[in-house]
């Protein structure tokens, strides 16, 4: 590899961890490939964010950068006329493509991914011959490895996990959490041009256009991180699992997009959060909860994506879920939905391409699990309809965590609930036509009734699992179970 070999950046590798440091002297190639924009039905705002990030990188890198518009990446590389250096891409398909380009002489060398804390080879060593995985084990090793929230060999506070302190329901008699607003980037001439170009291309997208809500440059990402740490982190932990209809962002960081574009490195966010605890400007429970999301869960999902291999999504459907996604779901037709929790979640995806993790797992994911939606279709939907849904993010989150389609390889039990959980953790149920306490009748909550129908359908699997066998015992004591199951098999209104 020549010391002056140009560096090709994918759209999720746009930060200084990739093009700075030892590579700061290299020329940079950026590519806008029409085929990548049209390959799937993406959210309109997702395409805007990706193009805005690429074009801002081109502007910010100045004379170093060349931006080529082409039908395909291969066309662009051939027009560039020189072999390029590239970091490992973030999906199986892209990795296979890059290695094919290397055989064709268009790529000179492939370097390790630079946008995560733990190198892939180190995770392989950690995983060893494990057949089942616990995120908590991985997370504790991450804390030790990177010396985060540690006092010598022990965790600060003598506890590794403060999850129990971070499960408060939304405050009563409030419409919003009443914390300072998240950082909002200021759109510029690049965003104006992106919007005009997307209009002109007339792509088959989903969701509404709207103002850019997420950071797409390293400078914006630093501002977004600082805003979160200084003004929102202290409240984040307590309410991280709560949902409020008039407060879509709550106290969440909104950093998933800059993380997944590569313009913010996870260790920078972890370091900033730990400093807030050490400086006594944020409580330990909130800081630990945020760090666990970044250094624990996000890194864990990334590495398991590679560890489980390219057939993980297509090869796992343990619960035999065969129902295609309904049109109101794929079209984000929130107005066709009656249940307030489901309507608000779909509207959030429609209007912003984003909802926080509890709406993803315990509203959208739980509904899909109860109704037996196909996990492969659901994985693709989350990856295309969410602005932070890159290809590596969703398989383990959806197939493993949300849909239990891998039979427990990742998570020890299916994650679903009746309406009581949603009633406790949100302010939706009071204004809903459905009653979370009812499982039978016209106003029966589709989550409450759906929970028992799901439990009945998979009673053998649940009875074998020590974490869920009590569900089966409770179900068998229901005197109206047969009627509930029949009702839910015919339900066409949610």
Element (H, E) at 30: strand 28-33
Q: What are phi and psi of 412, to 5 degrees?
A: -80, -10
Helix%, strand%, coil% for the chain, nearest 5: 50, 5, 40
Q: What DSSP string describes 140-152?
A: HHHHHHHT-SEET
> N- to C-terminal Cα distance for the chain?
58
Q: pLDDT tens for the chain, 494 residues: list them.
A: 568 999 999 999 999 999 999 999 999 999 999 999 999 999 999 999 999 999 999 999 999 999 999 999 999 999 999 999 999 999 999 999 999 999 999 999 999 999 999 999 999 999 999 888 899 999 999 999 999 999 999 999 999 999 999 999 999 989 999 999 999 999 999 999 999 999 999 899 999 999 999 999 999 999 999 999 999 999 999 999 999 999 999 999 999 999 999 999 999 999 999 999 999 999 999 999 999 999 999 999 999 999 999 999 999 999 999 999 999 999 999 999 999 999 999 999 999 999 999 999 999 999 999 999 999 999 999 999 999 999 999 999 999 999 999 999 999 999 999 999 999 999 999 999 999 999 999 999 999 999 999 999 999 999 999 999 999 999 999 999 999 999 999 999 99
**Which domains, from first to last, does the chain contain?**
7-111 (3.40.50), 120-184+209-308 (1.25.40.80), 327-490 (1.10.579.10)
- pLDDT tens sequence across 325-376: 999 999 999 999 999 999 999 999 999 999 999 999 999 999 999 999 999 9
462-466: long-range contacts, CB 8 A cutoff, minimum separation 24? 462/414, 465/408, 465/412, 465/413
Q: What are phi and psi of 104, to 5 degrees?
A: -80, 0
CA distance 69 to 275: 42
Q: What DSSP string describes 443-491?
A: TB-HHHHHHHHHHHHTHHHHHHSTTTHHHHHHHHT-TTHHHHHHHHHT-
Helix or strand or coil: residue 110?
A: strand
- pLDDT tens sequence across 409-456: 999 999 999 999 999 999 999 999 999 999 999 999 999 999 999 999
| Cα–Cα nearest to 339, from 330, 328, 331, 324 | 328
CA distance 380 to 371: 17
Q: What DSSP string describes 262-280?
A: TSS-HHHHHHHHHHHHHTT
């Amino acid at each position: 590899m020549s010391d002056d070999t140009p560096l090709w950046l994918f759209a999720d590798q746009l930060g200084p961890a990739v093009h700075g440091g030892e590579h700061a002297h290299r020329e940079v190639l950026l590519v806008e490939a029409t085929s990548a924009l049209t390959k799937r039905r993406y959210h309109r705002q997702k395409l805007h964010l990706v193009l805005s990030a690429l074009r801002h990188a081109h502007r910010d890198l100045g004379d170093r950068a060349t931006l080529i518009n082409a039908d395909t990446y291969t066309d662009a590389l051939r027009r560039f006329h020189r072999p390029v250096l590239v970091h490992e891409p973030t999906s199986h398909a892209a990795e296979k493509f890059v290695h094919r380009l290397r055989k064709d002489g268009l790529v000179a060398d492939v370097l390790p991914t630079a946008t995560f804390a733990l190198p892939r080879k180190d995770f392989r060593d950690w995983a060893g011959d494990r057949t089942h995985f616990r995120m908590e084990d991985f997370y504790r090793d991450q804390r030790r490895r990177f010396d985060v929230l540690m006092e010598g060999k022990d965790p600060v506070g003598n506890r590794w996990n403060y999850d129990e302190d971070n499960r408060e329901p939304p405050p009563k008699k409030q419409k919003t959490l009443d914390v300072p607003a998240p950082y909002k980037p200021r759109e510029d001439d690049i965003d104006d041009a992106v919007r005009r170009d997307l209009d002109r291309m007339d792509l088959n997208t989903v969701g509404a256009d709207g103002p850019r809500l997420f950071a797409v440059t390293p400078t914006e990402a630093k501002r977004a991180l600082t805003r979160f740490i200084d003004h929102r982190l202290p409240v984040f932990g307590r309410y991280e699992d709560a949902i409020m209809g008039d407060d879509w962002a709550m106290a969440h960081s909104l950093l998933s997009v800059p993380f997944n574009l590569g313009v913010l490195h996870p260790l920078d966010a972890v370091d900033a959060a730990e400093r807030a605890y050490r400086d006594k400007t944020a409580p330990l429970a909130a800081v630990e909860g945020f760090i666990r999301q970044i250094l624990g869960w996000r890194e864990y999902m990334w590495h398991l994506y590679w560890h489980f291999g390219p057939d993980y999504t297509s090869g796992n459907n343990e619960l035999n879920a065969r129902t295609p996604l309904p049109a109101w779901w794929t079209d984000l037709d929130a107005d066709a939905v009656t249940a307030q929790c489901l309507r608000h979640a779909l509207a959030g995806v429609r209007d912003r391409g984003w909802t926080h993790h509890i709406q993803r797992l315990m509203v959208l994911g739980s509904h899909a699990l109860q109704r037996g939606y196909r996990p492969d279709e659901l994985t693709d939907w989350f990856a295309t309809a969410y602005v932070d849904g890159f290809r590596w993010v969703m398989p383990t989150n959806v197939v493993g965590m949300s849909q239990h389609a891998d039979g427990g390889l990742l998570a020890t039990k299916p994650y679903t609930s009746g309406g009581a959980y949603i009633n406790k953790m949100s302010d939706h149920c009071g204004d809903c036509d459905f009653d979370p306490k009812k499982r039978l009748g016209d106003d029966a909550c589709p989550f409450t009734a759906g929970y028992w129908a799901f439990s009945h359908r998979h009673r053998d699997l649940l009875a074998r699992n020590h974490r869920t066998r009590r569900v089966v015992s409770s179900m068998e004591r229901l005197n109206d179970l047969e009627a509930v199951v029949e009702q839910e098999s015919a339900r066409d209104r949610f």
